Amino acid sequence: METASWVTAIATVVYSIAVIVTLLLIKRQIAEGGRLRESGVVEEAYKYIISTHDARALILANSATIKAVKNKSDLESLKSKSPDLLRAIHDVVNCYHYIGFLMRSRLLTNKGALYEEGGQTILDMSEIIMPVIEIQRENPSYKQYFDTLVKEVIEYQHSQGKRKCFFRRRTA
């Protein structure tokens, strides 16, 4: 009887250890799956940002023209004179709106990396194109995640004690 008790006790301990190890491995697997998912999201986000490089360059080259848009009439004039410029504005806004959506939805959680690399570029683009977006904004939620992204970059830079990002010219 005593031997059976010892065997049962040892089997219970082995079983308990096996359950604990299994739970730890499952936890690790879930964490790894999350990191893998996020790395895919980060890769997609950076590809999208990179794809707007020419659009951002066009916006920077025409910033005075864009800043001159003060009302719907000016916007209509811009549409007829420079449809490529308006398309560039929408490409950039859509990109940053999407990035803001990914962050707000917690699909992209490493915000600091994006803010360090391209935060100032986001702010520069916002300064130039936000008036155009405001004119087009009939629905208050139009491109709301772009607004959210801009606010978060400002908060991040403020928390880091930064006025201008070190990468400013390289990422434009």
Which tokens sit at 23?
């739970």
> Binning pLDDT at 50, 70 and 90, where does residue 86 land?
very high
105-115 confidence digits (pLDDT tens): 888 887 877 88
Mean pLDDT of 93-97: 93
- Tokens representing 138 are 């009939």
Model confidence, pTM: 0.72
Helix ranges (DSSP H) in 52-143: 53-61, 63-67, 72-81, 83-104, 111-136
What percent of the chain is predicted at pLDDT more than 90?
44
- Going from the C-alpha of 162 to that of each of 113, 127, 148, the distances in angstroms are 15, 17, 19
Residue 36 pLDDT more than 70? yes
Check pLDDT > 60 for residue 59.
Answer: yes
Least confident of 36-40, 92-96, 104-108, 164-168: 164-168
The domain locations on the chain are 37-159
Tell me the pLDDT tens digit for each residue of 117-139.
788 899 999 999 988 888 888 77
In angstroms, the CA 19 to CA 100 distance is: 41
CA distance 48 to 166: 22
